Amino acid sequence: MTDITTMTVGELSRAMESGELTSQEVTRSYLASIDANDEKVNGYITVTADAALDAARAADDARRQGAKAPLLGVPAAIKDNICTKGLKTTCASKMLENFVPPYNATVMEKLNTQGVPVLGKVNMDEFAMGSSTENSAFKITHNPRSADRVPGGSSGGSAAVVAANEAPFALGSDTGGSIRQPAAFCGVVGMKPTYGRVSRYGLVAFASSLDQIGPLTKTVEDNALVLGAIAGYDPHDATSVNNEYPDFASGIGQGVKGLKIALLKESFGQGLSGEVKSAVLNAAKVFEKLGAEIVELSMPSLDKALPAYYVISSAEASSNLARFDGVRYGYRSEKYDDITELYQNSRSEGFGPEVKRRIMLGTFALSSGYYDAYYKKALQMRTIIMKEYERCFQRCDLILSPVAPTVAYKIGEKSHNPLEMYLGDIYTVPVNIGGIPSLSMPCGSDSEGLPIGMQLMGRHFDEVTLYRAGAAYEAERGAWHLERGAF
């Protein structure tokens, strides 16, 4: 029989439905894989073996009684900035090292309703600030494709455990590429849904107007199944959009004939690796061969998205992280004589260097005399970028671009140059600025066998078309994760 841990979410679900497998067998297989492999990967911060097996037994009992759900009994890994009742949620920070939430995030309630066993909480850049998972206060996660490479960030643990067959799927969060870039670096599939599609209630906030929870999986079909389980309106989240959501997998199998896919000329310029450029342009040729029309468009303001993003996200981080003051919850310094010292020492000792850097940048951008010069201008640029996306989508159905300028780089290679690390987000942050959905998936390998990712961007709330096109490409070329890069 096939190794259980290499099966897709869809295959696991069908095998449990037919009685070929039980959730307990599946969950034990993944826990064994974690025991065998995670010392090398460092993907998990917390493993919840007993709770996962209890949930698996409950799922098997429910199935025997006739219960049906797409994810019933399929285990998952959860990024450690998503609140889990009774289970530590650390944000990979000393500040929240011992924080146990008294409630579940809405996405966790949805997974519980589906009967999903939780294998554990996975590593990330501290408070989701970073692109390599080197900023965690606890450990550095390694890329399963090459142990000396980063897995990407900030959802590096989520991507790594899926790539290492330590979870069939994982949840991550994406503020400026934090699902899509790790998916590209690790050779898995990641979706940043439309802003408002998935509830942010219970997601520890980094930048509230940009954050969005989404799934990381082995295949496009799996991704659509998981998004279907977590999407939907939530009255607890004021930014959650109250509209009907479709069967996200409904377009899979329809092909791309009749779709117009755009290449933005600004996405293929200076700084892009030749191998990445070649792989993405070859993907465009595959879409053309399958019947799509490829066109070239321009977004003149695309290069302004990165500075606008870092001003907006840092300003919102400065505001959101003000609550971590050593008074109510979280880390509290033992060295203080008055309330001012308590604040200063708790935050100085509790936050890591990258978080401090962004808090200071954001506080500066919001300060008197600089607000108009930086924050207000960044918001105006956000409006311009959103309008440029609207104009593009009047002339095309999807936009195709690289996810990152390079493949996964070596651990430590960019950790001492924050600006160089920030420039790696150049292709992903415009999506968050525009609030549109984007699907990251593998489109080949470089000369060393490392995965290369492409992203498909779509209109607001049109994830169905993204999955339709992604699945057509995957059917033509094979799933990179399952084929081990056999392009």
Number of domains in the chain: 1
Per-residue pLDDT, 479: 81
Residue 236, domain member (yes or no): yes
Residue 72, domain member (yes or no): yes
Q: Does residue 178 have an active-site annotation? A: yes
Residue 408, domain member (yes or no): no
What is the spatial distance between Cα 464 and Cα 198, in angstroms, rounded to a whole number? 15
What is the spatial distance between Cα 342 and Cα 311, in angstroms, rounded to a whole number? 28
What is the spatial distance between Cα 11 and Cα 483, in angstroms, rounded to a whole number? 16
What is the spatial distance between Cα 247 and Cα 417, in angstroms, rounded to a whole number? 43
Residue 248 sits in a domain whose CATH number is: 3.90.1300.10
Per-residue pLDDT, 486: 31
Residue 182, domain member (yes or no): yes
Residue 248, domain member (yes or no): yes
The closest of 159, 293, 287 to 218, measured between CA atoms, is 159
Residue 335, domain member (yes or no): no
The closest of 111, 149, 153 to 129, measured between CA atoms, is 153
**pLDDT, one tens digit for every residue, the chain (487 residues):** 579 999 999 999 999 999 999 999 999 999 999 999 999 999 999 999 999 999 999 999 999 999 999 999 999 999 999 999 999 999 999 999 999 999 999 999 999 999 999 999 999 999 999 999 999 999 999 999 999 999 999 999 999 999 999 999 999 999 999 999 999 999 999 999 999 999 999 999 999 999 999 999 999 999 999 999 999 999 999 999 999 899 999 999 999 999 999 999 999 998 999 999 999 999 999 999 999 999 999 999 999 999 999 999 999 999 999 999 999 889 999 999 999 999 999 999 999 999 999 999 999 999 988 999 999 999 999 999 999 999 999 999 999 999 999 999 999 999 888 889 999 999 999 999 999 999 999 999 999 999 999 999 999 999 999 999 999 999 999 887 776 533 2
Residue 69, domain member (yes or no): yes
Residue 165, domain member (yes or no): yes
| Letter string b/e over residues 153-181, b meaning 16 or more CB atoms within 10 A of that residue's CB | bbbbbbbbbbbbbbbbbbbbbbbbbbbbb
Q: Does residue 314 have an active-site annotation? A: no
Residue 334 CB neighbour total at 10 angstroms: 8
Indicate which residue of 13, 29, 79, 318 is catalytic. Answer: 79
Rg (CA), the chain: 21
401 touches 453 (CB < 8 A) = no
Per-residue pLDDT, 484: 54
Residue range of the domain that includes 94: 4-253+458-483
Indicate which residue of 23, 178, 314, 318 is catalytic. Answer: 178
Q: Does residue 79 have an active-site annotation? A: yes
Indicate which residue of 33, 154, 240, 401 is catalytic. Answer: 154
Contacts of 76 (CB under 8 A, 6+ apart): 111, 116, 117, 118, 119, 167, 168, 169, 170, 171
